[in-house]
Amino acid sequence: MADLQPLEQILGVTFQNTDTLRQALVHRSYLNEHPDFMLGHNERLEFLGDAVLELVVTEYLYLHYENPEGELTNWRAALVNADTLADICESLGVEAYLYLSKGEAKDKNSKARHYILANAFEAVIGAIYLDQGWESSKKFITDTVLIELPKILQHQLYLDPKSRFQESAQEKHGVTPIYKVLSEEGPDHAKVFQVGVYLGKDLVTVGIGTSKHEAQVAAAATAITKMGW
C-alpha cells in the first residue's frame, strides 16, 4: 500500500479515514487486474465530488458577481470542465498515486488519461467531503479551482476556441476565419480529419480530430497560440 501522507500534505487535508482518499484514486481498470483489492473503484466518489464542486463554484459566482445567468454558466463550465480539472490534478501530482491497470499506467498522453485525471480530481473532492465535511471541501475547491477564475476571465477561456479565435480575428484583422477540410482518412468508424483555418487566403494553422468539429476546435486553439492572442 502506498503511503498517502505526502499526498495529504499536497492536498492540505489530513484524513480521518485514509482509505476514503485511497478509494478516490482507484480506477476501474485496476480492479480488473486486482479483483481482491480491498476497496472499490472511485466512480461513486466522483459522482459525489462532481455535485459538491458544482455547488461550491455556483455559490461563489452567485455571491461575487452580478452578471447574467448565461455568463455565470459559461464561467462555471470553464472552471469545472475536464481540461481544467485534469490540469489541476496533474499540477498537484495526484497522478503518481493513482491505482491503474498496467495498460492504463503506460498510456500517459491519451484522451483517456486526461479524463481519468479529471475524474480522479472530482473523486478526491468527494472523499474530502465525506471525510471532512462541507467547509473543508469548500476551502479545497477555493484553493485549487476558483483560483483559476481570474485567468479564465482575463483570457476569455470561457469561450470555446473557435469563438475566441473568431472574435480576435474580427477585432484585430476585420476578417472571419474560414475552415477547410484538407484531408480525411480512415474507415467510417475511425476517421481522422485534418482541417486548416484561414484568415483570408492565408493558412494560419492545421488541426486534427476524429470529427470535423474536433479538428476545427484544435485548429482554432493552435491558431490562438500561434497568433499570440
Residue 46 annotated as binding site? yes
Q: Which of 95, 104, 122, 131 is catalytic?
A: 122
Please tell me the distance from the alpha carbon of residue 113 to that of residue 95, in angstroms, as a whole number. Answer: 10
Please tell me the distance from the alpha carbon of residue 113 to that of residue 55, in angstroms, as a whole number. Answer: 26
Residue 67 annotated as binding site? no
Question: SS3 helix, strand, coil % of the chain, rounded to 5?
Answer: 65, 10, 25
Q: Which residue has the cell 476558483?
A: 146
Please tell me the distance from the alpha carbon of residue 117 to that of residue 96, in angstroms, as a whole number. Answer: 11
What SS3 class is residue 107?
coil
Q: Does residue 50 have an active-site annotation?
A: yes
Please tell me the distance from the alpha carbon of residue 44 to that of residue 24, in angstroms, as a whole number. Answer: 9
Q: Which of 50, 95, 104, 131 is catalytic?
A: 50
Residue 214 annotated as binding site? no
Catalytically active residues are 50, 122
Which segments are annotated as binding site? 46, 119, 122
Which segments are annotated as binding site for Mg(2+)? 46, 119, 122
